[in-house]
Each structure stands twice: as structure tokens, then as C-alpha cells.
Amino acid sequence: MTSFRPIADVAGAGSGGEFDPRVATRRRRVATAIVIAALVVLAGIGGAFTPTFLTFDNLLVVIRQASITGVIALGMSYVTISGNLFALSAEELAILTACIFGWLMRAKFGLALSLIATLLFAGLGGAVQGGIIALGADPIITTLAFGGFFRGLASVVSQNQNILLGTDAAQWLGTGRPLGVPTQSWAFLILTPLAWIVLQKTRIGRVLVLAGANRAAARSAGLRVGQAALLGLTLLGLCCGLAGISAAAQFGQAVANLFQGLNFDVVAAVLVGGIALRGGQGSPIQAALGAAFIALLQNFMLLNDFSSGWRMTVVGSLVALATCLFHILQRRRE
Amino acid sequence: MLRTSIRSFGLPLRGLAMAAALLSPLMFGHSAARAESKGLLVVFMPPGTDNYLAQWQKGARAKAKDLGYDIKIIESSRDQAEQDSQVQQEIASGEKVSGYIWWPYVNAAGTGSLRALSKTGVPVVFTNQYPIPGTEKFWTAYAGVNDFLNAETAAKALVKACAESKTVKCNKGLIITFPAGYSAGSDREKAFRKAAPNLTVIQSQPSGFMAQEGYKTASQIIPAHKSEITWVYTENDSLADGVIQALKENGLQPGKDVLVVGGVCHGDTTNLLNGSLIGTGVQAAFLEGWSSVQSTYKYLNTKKVLDGAVYLPDDPNKPPSDDGAPHRYNFIPNPWVTNAKADVDSFKLWGYPFKELCNY
């Protein structure tokens, strides 16, 4: 059994001064401040040009739009921070879990059992990928391959047909509005601080950060670096499971064609949030802010009748710009 | 690292998978089985993970089997470049093919592949996407939906429902279309606008094919315009399902405050039967696949194409005959069905009931 030392001791010991937690914290705060400032500026511009933009109703819609991407981006932030880049199977795992949940509900397994089984499967789907990555496989190739596997399996489970749940038992999960706020938004708003607490205040979080910041230092401190990939991917899997359940519950049906473009949206949220691609720096709050920023921008463009071509161009440019900006900022500080 | 990984492994892996898919019939003795058949039909189309396309495939396979042909369906993802690559590989394989059926993902961008297929000398039957003017010499016949007619039917039904409604006076509304670049989407939009010139379009937005995508788009537009929306046209009923949910969340009652028309029965009929949709058009994916294979067969059998367009009869019980030559344009019927349960229950086309043609 390995003992666990404070993050500063471990980083200093192993990295030869390469990783300073205080610097990392400062960088995280700067990145967060930049995204918040960008959100405020965008909201101001949007409000000035579009009368309905800064209404309560519209902001609720924006949060709702950010929610599914945001929940998965929270999980993805763990993967990126742990130094494993991205999981390119998030969209497909969400599709598969939607189909599995739909299938279980239709087969009358009941809501509770269907929920538990789907989430277990989602976690397992993430854990298997994480386990393989922990053994040394490339995270991009591994998750790309599993993406194909999950999509294919979703196609098999659904037989390329709509799986109708055949019951309204799950409807509230997809369409409920406690206190006027959609359930998906509640999940996003609750999970964001929770994800931050896990990363900042728990041993699991510290393993993730250290593995991403400096693998050699983490190893010399007695941490199992491979554990980080396993943990990150498992948590991401659970987030995908929540998204899948929510989608299936919302329309009472699931099909193997859901979540088009979700992988890009999630990666974009992580990058726009300013989480370091090389790992070790960032927080789930940044990913959540990234998702909110993209949703706000998309909403502004939609209300102003931008064509879909322009919308894609703007978001793509934004991701490229954010990646360059944060990369330059990091290099300057080094 | 990300870039290196994808370049080093991702593309070759995808290429290998594609090559394996194309070679597999040869490797597993498909050729031997084909010797007993009348020939091989090769279909290029977007992925069957979309339930409409999966139904199309079922119809095509059923008719090919019925006519004694083998059929190979090469699915691409929603990516024209991938489909172009599949065409090149299929042609390069030298496989003996009796007829190609071509369903591009991006019609205009796929013209190069269409030209390449036509150069093989094998007949090419275009399906689902209405051929682009100027490409006529590259294809033998078109078989499938008439997107213009489909939208026109939906527009007329909406105008009629507006005139008959006691609760809503139709004026301004929204159009939610298929994704940008998917030519069937823009064809339908044009035809809808032309057939309902008195309806004012507040906004038209490309969205997707599924309820989730329709919801994502509509839920953002509706709050800004909820006091003025009186109608919504979506290009299929799945998109309409998403719009209906967004309308309800904004306190608008579909069928009473806002009239919604999808125009293509697709997926679930709950919103049709509860009156949220004013009705639907039976553009049956199964019959479109069936008819595409039949048109190919009719050409192979006669080596002739008749000029002009034909609308295949909307006989409730009997499918169209396999005899004779196909026309240049062979459109499947698109009969309108009201949201009355009795109409839905009694509906039949070519011997298939509504539920079989629409619930998938």
C-alpha cells in the first residue's frame, strides 16, 4: 500500500522544480478569469445587439444547451488533466448508454434497475478504456477504437430502430423542471462544484493532477500513474451515462444516431476553458465555463440568424484561437 | 501528439477497415453465391444507424432478394470524402457489378464520384437526393422521394389546417430543416416557401434529422419569438417531436396555439395521434429502397429509360409492377394522412399498413 504525500512535496521531489503547484494554481485562475471575462463581454455584446438575449428565459435556455455538453466536459476534464488528452469515444458511449437504458426500460426492468444497470455499464465502458490506457496504450487510438465499438454496439442493441421506452416512468428525468430549471441544468449546476471538490480536495483528484503534471514525480512518490487513466475514464463514462439516460428519457426513445457532433463540442469546451492539453493544470470549472461560453455564442448566432456554416466557422476559429492563446500564455510563463 | 497519433494510426486503421469491408465479400465466398444470382447491385449511402436509412436498406434488400439479385450496401459516415474514397476503392476492386445505386451525403460535393461511377459503363440509379441539374449524363434514372412534392404537400396541408383552425390565425412561423449541405433539405424548404407564399418565415434554421436536434434548435429560437409564432414546418416528424417539446416548454400548445407540420412520418406517431401534428406524409423509407432496386432491375431488364417523370401509383394493396422500363424520374407516392386515429389505422400503401411504414 502506497502512502500519499501532499501535492507540493511530491511535485517538488520528482520534477526537479518543473511543476510548482502555486504556479499551476495561478495559471488556472488566470485561465478561469479569461473565460469569465469572455463570457461577460459576449453577454454584453449579445445584449446590446439582441433584445431577447439577456432575458431570464433565454439564459435558462443557454444553460440547458450547455448542460449535456457540460456534464460530459466535466468528465473529460479529468481525462485531460490526468495527461491523457481526450477520449474520442464520449459521444458513442453516450449513444450506447441511451440505447441500453431504452432497451432496459422497454423490457420492463423498471426505472431504478435500468438506471443502475445503465450507469454501471457506462462506468465499466469508461473503466475498460482507462484500464487499457493504463497498460500503456495511446489514449487517442484506444478511445477512437472504442468509439467505433460503442457505436456499432448501439446499432446492434437498437437494431437501427427507435427504441421506444413504452412508459412515462423516466419522462421526468428528461423533461422535469424543478423550480423552473430543467433537470439537465440541475445536474450540470450540481455536478460542476462536485467535480471541482473531487479534483481539489480528494486523493483521487490529486492522483489525477499529479499524473498529468509530472508522471516521473508521481511514480517516485509511489502513486500508480495508470490509476489516473482508469479513474478519469471511469468518471467520464459515468458522465456519458447520465447524458445518455437524459436523452432517452427526454423523448421516451433512443436511437443509434443521437448526439451528432458531441465529441467536438466536448473537446471544444475543454479547450476553450483553458485546460492544459499536456495535463496537470486546469479544473472542471474551466470545462463548465467553456461549455457555457460555447452555448452562449451558439445561442447569440442562432438568434441573429447566422447560417450553420458561419456558426461552425466561428466555433472552430474560437477553439483554434483559445488553444493558441493558452499555449502562448503557458510558454511565456515558462 | 494528438496530430501524430491520428496521422500515424487513425487514417490507416480506417483505410484498412474500409478495405476489409470492400474485400470481405470476396474473402468469404460471396462470389460463389453470386454465381447463382442474376447479378450484384452495389449501393453507396450514408449510415444505416439512422433509422430511416436502416428501413431503406430493408426495403432494398427485400426487393433485391425477390428479384434474384445480390446486394452490397456500402455505408459511409456523414462524410462525403469518405464516401468518395469508398467509390474509388469499389471501382478499383474490379468487381463485376450489374448496377450502382447512388445516395450521396452531400449531393454537389459527390458529383465527382457520380461521374466516376458513370464512367464504368454500369447503370447508376440515383436515389433519395434529387439530382443536381447538369449531372444528367452521369446517371441512368432517379428513383425515390420527390422532396419538392413532399414539401408542397406539407405546405398545402398546413395552409388548409390554418384556414380551418378556430384557435390560431397563421401568419409568422419557423422552418427547421435537415443539416446544411443536405440538398433534400434545401429542396424542401424552397418548395415549402413556394407553396405557402402567404406564410411569413421568421427564421429558417438547419438542424438535423432527430428529435434531439430539432429540440436543440427550436428551444433556442422559440423563446425569442414565442409571442408571434403561429406555425412550424419541420422536414420530418422526428424533428417535429423536438419542436413540439420546445413549444410546450414555452407554454405554447401545439395544435392549438401553434400548428406543426412534419411532412414525413418518421419514428414515433405519438404526436400525430394526440393532435400535436396536423397530419403527416407517408414517405416510406422501406418503399423508397424497394423502388430504387425495382427501377434498377427494370432498366437492366429492358436496357431502356422512358422520358419524363412518373409517380408510382398509391395503390393501398398492390405494389407497382416489375414489368416495363423505368422512367427518368420514378417518384414514390407521398400520400397525406390526417391525425385522426381512424385514418391512421385504416391507411395502407402497397399492402403495408401505416405502422409498418412509419414506426421504426
Domain harbouring A304, CATH code: 1.10.3470
Is the Cβ pair A257, B51 closer than 8 Å? yes
Element spanning A163, H or E:
strand A163-164
User: From CA A139, how far away is CA A123, in angstroms rounded?
Assistant: 17
pLDDT more than 70, % of chain B: 90
Is the Cβ pair B215, A257 closer than 8 Å? no
> What would be the CATH architecture of the domain defined by B148-281?
3-Layer(aba) Sandwich (3.40)
Convert the pLDDT of each residue in B150-166 to its tens digit: 999 999 999 999 999 99
Residue B315 has what pLDDT? 95
Can you name the residues that pair with B348 across neighbouring β-strands? B353
- Left (φ > 0), alpha (ψ -120 to 50) or beta: where does B335 sit? beta
pLDDT level of residue B22 (50, 70, 90 thresholds): very low
Is the Cβ pair A160, B54 closer than 8 Å? yes
Is the Cβ pair A61, B1 closer than 8 Å? no
Indicate whether A314 belongs to any domain. yes
User: From CA B286, how far away is CA A14, in angstroms rounded?
Assistant: 64
| Residues of chain A contacting residue B210, judged by C-beta atoms under 8 Å apart | 255, 257-258, 260
Considering Cα of A194, then A200, then A204, then A209, what sign does the dihedral take?
A: positive
Is the Cβ pair B10, A177 closer than 8 Å? no
Question: Which residue does chain B place closest to A152, by CA atoms?
Answer: B49
Question: Residues with Cβ < 8 Å from A90, sequence gap 6 or more?
Answer: A72, A75, A76, A236, A239, A240, A262, A263, A266
A56, A85, A253, A314: best to mutate for the B interface, most B CBs within 10 A: A253
Residue A307 has what pLDDT? 83
Question: Which of B54, B213, B224 lies at the smallest CB-CB distance from A52?
Answer: B224
What distance lies between CA B305 and its chain's CA centroid?
23
**In this predicted complex, what is the ipTM?**
0.81
Indicate whether A1 belongs to any domain. no
Question: At A205, which amino acid appears?
Answer: G
In the DSSP assignment, the letter for residue A130 is: H
pLDDT more than 90, % of chain B: 81
| Residues of chain A contacting residue B286, judged by C-beta atoms under 8 Å apart | none
* CB of A185 closer than 8 Å to CB of A60: yes
Summarize the confidence of residues B17-27 as an average pLDDT. Answer: 45
Q: State the pTM of this model.
A: 0.82
User: From CA A283, how far away is CA A36, in angstroms rounded?
Assistant: 14
Query: Total structural domains in chain A?
Result: 1
| Residues of chain A contacting residue B241, judged by C-beta atoms under 8 Å apart | 251
Convert the pLDDT of each residue in B178-204 to its tens digit: 988 888 899 999 999 999 999 999 999
Q: What angle do CA A325, A330, A332 make, to 5 degrees?
A: 95
* Domain B37-145+284-333, classified CATH 3.40.50.11540, yes or no: no
Domain extent listing, chain B: 37-145+284-333, 148-281
Instruction: State the smallest CA–CA distance between residue A112 and chain B in angstroms.
Output: 24
A285: containing domain = 7-333
Fold agreement (B37-145+284-333, B148-281): yes
Indicate whether A2 belongs to any domain. no
Tally Cβ neighbours within 10 Å of residue B94: 7
Q: Measure CA of the first residue to CA of the last residue in chain A; give whole Å.
A: 35
* CB of B54 closer than 8 Å to CB of B48: yes
Scored b (16 or more CB within 10 A) or e, B314-331 reads eeeeebbeeeeebbbbbb
Q: Which of residues 10-49 of A touch B (CB under 8 A)?
A: none
Convert the pLDDT of each residue in B98-141 to its tens digit: 999 999 998 999 999 999 999 999 999 999 999 999 999 999 99
In the DSSP assignment, the letter for residue A178 is: G
| Residues of chain A contacting residue B6, judged by C-beta atoms under 8 Å apart | 140, 144
Indicate whether A160 belongs to any domain. yes
| Residues of chain B contacting residue A160, judged by C-beta atoms under 8 Å apart | 48-51, 53-54
- Least confident residue range of A162-166, A325-329, B246-250, B271-275: A325-329
Question: Which of A57, A140, A162 lies at the smallest CB-CB distance from B267?
Answer: A162
Q: Which of residues 183-242 of A touch B (CB under 8 A)?
A: none
Is the Cβ pair B5, A161 closer than 8 Å? no
Is the Cβ pair B268, A277 closer than 8 Å? no
Convert the pLDDT of each residue in B55-82 to its tens digit: 999 999 999 999 999 999 999 987 899 9
Strands B124-127 and B40-45: unpaired
Is the Cβ pair A162, B268 closer than 8 Å? yes
Question: Which residue does chain A place closest to B54, by CA atoms?
Answer: A160
**pLDDT by 10s per residue, chain A, length 334:** 344 444 434 444 334 445 667 777 888 888 899 999 999 999 999 999 888 899 988 999 999 999 999 999 999 999 999 999 999 999 999 999 999 999 999 999 999 999 999 999 999 999 999 999 999 999 999 999 999 999 999 999 999 888 999 888 899 999 999 999 999 999 999 999 999 999 999 999 989 999 999 888 888 888 888 899 999 999 999 999 999 999 999 999 999 989 988 999 999 999 999 998 888 989 999 999 999 999 999 999 999 988 888 888 999 999 899 888 877 877 766 6
